[in-house]
A = this chain, B = another copy of it.
Amino acid sequence: MSIEAVTEAADGPRSKRPAILAAAMERFGEVGYEAIKWSEVADRVGIGQTALYHYFESKAHCLLTIMRLALRNSDEAFRKAVEDTDSSLAALRAAVRAAYALTPLEVQQNRILQANISILANERSSKREENERGLCRELVAKIERNWSELLEQGMAGGEFAKQDPLLMARSLLGLIVSVWRWYRPDGPLTLETIAAFVENSCVLMATGDKPRE
């Protein structure tokens, strides 16, 4: 499995960081973040406790890193999707599609991000955790800005209905990410079907200026 989704530029080829993050994501998925013991992740990766704690001082530190990388991936995927589109509507469609064009590991990463997003609300007492939390919050604001700006352009150009762009951005994002709560790879709906449905819904919301009676 490619672990690009949890790899950073600073990770050298011998770094165990990406492998630890991938193993932790597996365990969080299997039994939930709350239930796992941080130290058991070392066994799964095949490293000792000292090595584990060299990379991550706690379960929360690891979780916040997984979340930051998920947000980084979303931000990058958005920017890549909208470049070279020739209208705001095409950009909106491409951005929604990109939100679902994911590897199984990235799907799992998004589930973990959404399931634990409330951890971003309160200050952490550990410095390294608080640092990751701050970066996550900046990325959340950046992603909301990406979508707001896209919507504002479409409103200015007459493609989208005039609305509060931030409210519309948060609503589209809320709809898009709500899928990670219930989607299962072995469930009855494919990600492709869901993506087409959500894309259509987002277009209706952005373009429809008044309810039809």
Residues of A within 8 A of B (CB): 31-35, 89, 115-119, 121-122, 163-164, 167-168, 170-171, 173-175, 177-179, 181-182, 189, 193-194, 197-201, 203-205, 207-208, 210-213
Question: Which residue of B has the minimal Cβ distance to A200?
Answer: B211
Complex contact A164–B118 (CB within 8 A)? no
Choice from B174, B178, B198, B208 contacting A204 with Cβ under 8 Å = B208
Complex contact A213–B181 (CB within 8 A)? no
Complex contact B170–A182 (CB within 8 A)? yes
Complex contact B171–A122 (CB within 8 A)? no
Complex contact A167–B204 (CB within 8 A)? no
Question: Which residue of B has the minimal Cβ distance to A115?
Answer: B118
Complex contact A205–B205 (CB within 8 A)? yes
Q: Distance in Å from the Cβ of A75 to the closest Cβ of chain B?
A: 18
Complex contact B181–A178 (CB within 8 A)? no
Complex contact B200–A171 (CB within 8 A)? no
Complex contact B189–A178 (CB within 8 A)? no
Choice from B193, B197, B213 contacting A171 with Cβ under 8 Å = B197
Complex contact A117–B181 (CB within 8 A)? yes
**Complex A-B: 20 CB contacts under 8 Å:** A31-B122, A32-B122, A33-B118, A34-B122, A35-B122, A164-B189, A167-B189, A167-B193, A167-B194, A170-B178, A171-B175, A171-B178, A171-B198, A174-B174, A174-B178, A178-B178, A200-B208, A203-B211, A204-B208, A207-B211
